[in-house]
Structure 1
């Protein structure tokens, strides 16, 4: 689920805990309502697709800088393995950026969603703890951002039933992201949970009344289901009030980093450099990274994707442009390129790895972080479910 690049922010800092059910102008005010004049001239993402979403994202970035406290973000990951550099530059450090700007952040570890595309959830406890470690290491502050697990929030999952009544089977079947997930499913048969994945995700977003969701382009159809559910619930049960905001997409501007085999970096493809990897493992993986036969190093993503991805990785770590890195290497060849990238990555990740190792030694703090996050998320979800029951006249 994320956006633009910045250096990871400072570590944990003191913060006054927010009320679990903040005032209506925080929870119920959508970004559209925040900037009436801006939104009036900006097309919504509903019908116009990615171009409109990109335009809207530019407006949202300005609004975040002006008044970050009006936004509540829901983002997160499935616990299927350790997070890697593709995750970091694609999504993770944008979470830290938004947190440090003052945006309220909910980070979901979507353990139930692991079951959507696999028969069993192997080593789930270890994967959940790894995700918490990775987030703490990069600078997500559990006093300012709520880190919680899906399965620990019963009220969140109870929202699924009324939400499912608001969408048709045909609408779910047409969702392109669901089609893609089904096509790449590891299961011998498609489960009902897979088919309802967009509604499950809508419950994740709307339980905390998130009004801003950092997403990649491929996630826009899912977010549109969430917006549809929010709109239909308000129309059917709101009695003239807004129970749920229609969340906006904050589109990622992150370039895609390739894995060491030249394909998309992925946990399942074993071609990724994880945040937890040590310096020697990083050097070994990058030494085997695919390049090409041309000795002179240039940045040309279209014709030299593998070389260009390595240059981009070094540039991101060194806060330079890929062209500058390429010019410095010149005709020294692939070996020099890999040395440059290895040094850049290991230097950049050194403080993150040090913090991760330190947190890993204190499992009590780790589990306490998750327990406190679960408690805060439960309080928010319980309040939302109570409001839903009242709106539906089912509060007995």
Structure 2
């Protein structure tokens, strides 16, 4: 089997049913290990600063990051600013968005003393790892990556940028520079993590090992599969900053009420929780349930024949009450950009120290120490 066929098989296998089940079982084992002793794990996670964070992020990833941090797992949180331009013509109001991201992180409970928050544009050694990593992958392999393939299919006549093509390799550098061995992901992101595992293995096989040669330079990162509920946008579609259907963490109560008032429902007055047949209504039920820590079937039964208006009122009250302390803290943080910058700079300093040490190991393994 050639290397090219090998990686194609690895990426395809990462999302088939049998592989997903194995990954799920291993993820459960890791959760049990974390409960016993979190010291053996280092997590890498993060977001692109393309807009303000919203409830999809809150329920989908932010709460899990806070949980892992509080469990004692060493957590690295990436502000992926360079990756903004993988599929955009410019960075937009990037400084404002980066600071907004940091404010959101701190407001939901990410502790800068316990977690490292950093921007990868500020870590040169991290980005330099892309050069040796690119040497162990092929153009064809990258084009078969699901994210790259979807972008290629969507571009039409517009050429795809080299940065977009190498996006999976950049993500690998983000994961491996700090030797993260655990990455919280949904099943759709498993091919990216598998790409990182392939690159780590190939680097070891092609260039050798650091120090006395007894250990590889990079770990093979594993997936921590997320069971987080997926919250739709107010239009019933995937919650997305670009669609304008999000409830942002930084919105005030009135803006939240307006967004939910115009949320899509259906003509049936009786409220039920049926995500398959009534996705829009069920999304509002789920949002209410998640915000109050209740079962969605119980919420639906309680509203009963109250109709969409009663459901929207319940969702609005639940979301606003849940987010009130987060929003209060966020307002304090946003009023002090100097503090936000200091948090980011401290995290950047930590990241640079680790990245430079990793790059030194890479140079040694590649016999490029002069």
Task: Give the shorter-chain TM-score range.
Answer: over 0.9
**How far off its partner does 1:188 sit?**
3.2
Structure 1 segments unaligned to the other structure (5+ residues): 1-43
Whether the 8 Å contact between 1:234 and 1:241 is mirrored in structure 2 is no
> In structure 1, what is the equivalent of residue 7 of structure 2?
none
| Equivalent runs, 1:24-173 vs 2, <5 Å | 48-173=18-143
User: Comparing 234-243 with 358-367, which one deviates more in the overlay?
Assistant: 234-243
Aligned to 1:347: 321
User: 2:238 matched to which residue of 1?
Assistant: 264
Identify the match of residue 369 of structure 1 among 304, 324, 343: 343
**Distance in 2 of aligned mates of 1:145 and 1:109:** 13
State the alpha-carbon separation in 1 of the partners of residues 241 and 20 from structure 2: 27
Give, in whole Å, the separation in 2 of the partners of 1:295 and 1:203: 51
1:227-282 Cα deviation digits (max 9, x unpaired): 00111112221244221100001111112111111101110100000000000000
Secondary structure of the residue that 2:101 maps to in structure 1?
helix
Alpha-carbon distance in 1 for matches of 2:247, 2:304: 25
Closer, same or farther in 2 for the Cα pair 1:301/1:194, shift >3 Å?
same
Superposed displacement of residue 338, structure 1: 0.2
Cα distance in 2 for partners of 1:180, 1:52 equals: 26
Assess if the C-alpha contact under 8 Å between 1:118 and 1:186 holds in 2. Answer: no
**TM-score (normalised: structure 2):** 0.93
1:85/1:186 Cα in 2 relative to 1: closer, same or farther (>3 Å)?
A: farther
Shift of 1:49: 2.9
Identify the residue that residue 36 of structure 1 maps to in structure 2.
Answer: none
Does the 8 A contact of 1:45 with 1:52 survive in 2?
A: no
Secondary structure of 1:49's match? helix
Summarize the Cα distance change of 1:313–1:374 in structure 2 as closer, same or farther, 3 Å threshold: same
Larger deviation, residues 186-195 vs 242-251:
186-195
1:230–1:244 contact (8 Å) kept in structure 2: yes
Residue 113 of structure 1 deviates from its aligned partner by 0.5
Number of corresponding residues: 353
Among 183, 186, 193, the alignment partner of 1:216 is 186
Other-structure match for 1:244: 218
Q: Kindly tell me: are residues 189 and 232 of structure 1, through their superposed partners in 2, closer, same or farther at Cα, counting changes over 3 Å? A: same
Which of residues 252, 274, 288 in structure 2 aligns to 1:314?
288
Q: Distance in 1 between matches of 2:177 and 2:362?
A: 10
Report Cα offsets for 1:198-250 as digits up to 9, x if no partner: 11100000000000000111111111110001111122212442211000011
- The 1:324–1:46 alpha-carbon spacing in structure 2 relative to 1, beyond 3 Å, is closer
Moved more, 360-369 or 207-216: 360-369
Structure 2 gap ranges (5+): 1-12
1:45 CA drift (Å): 5.3
Which structure dedicates a bigger proportion of its chain to helix? Answer: 2
Q: 2:166 aligns with which of 176, 182, 196?
A: 196
- Say if 1:257 and 1:264, in contact at 8 Å, map to a contact too: yes
Aligned match of 1:302 in 272, 276, 286? Answer: 276
Give how far 1:186 is off. 10
The question of whether the paired residues in 1 share the 8 Å contact of 2:264 and 2:280 is answered with yes
What is the rounded CA distance, in whole Å, between the counterparts of 1:322 and 1:289 in structure 2?
18
Cα pair 1:177 1:218 within 8 Å, conserved:
no
Task: Work out which of the residue numbers 273, 280, 297 in structure 1 matches 2:254.
Answer: 280
TM-superposition CA deviations, 1:100-130 (whole Å, max 9, x none):
0000011110110011001111001011011
CA drift at 1:51: 2.1
Give how far 1:50 is off. 2.0
Structure 1 vs Structure 2 CA RMSD: 1.5
2:155 and 2:20 map into 1 onto residues whose CA distance is: 26
| Secondary structure of residue in 2 paired with 1:105 | strand
Q: Displacement, 1:327? A: 0.9
1:25 maps to none
| Whole-Å separation in 1 of the counterparts to 2:111 and 2:153 | 37
- Report the TM-score, using the length of structure 1 for normalisation: 0.87
Q: Deviations over 1:326-346 (max 9, x none)?
A: 111110100000000000000
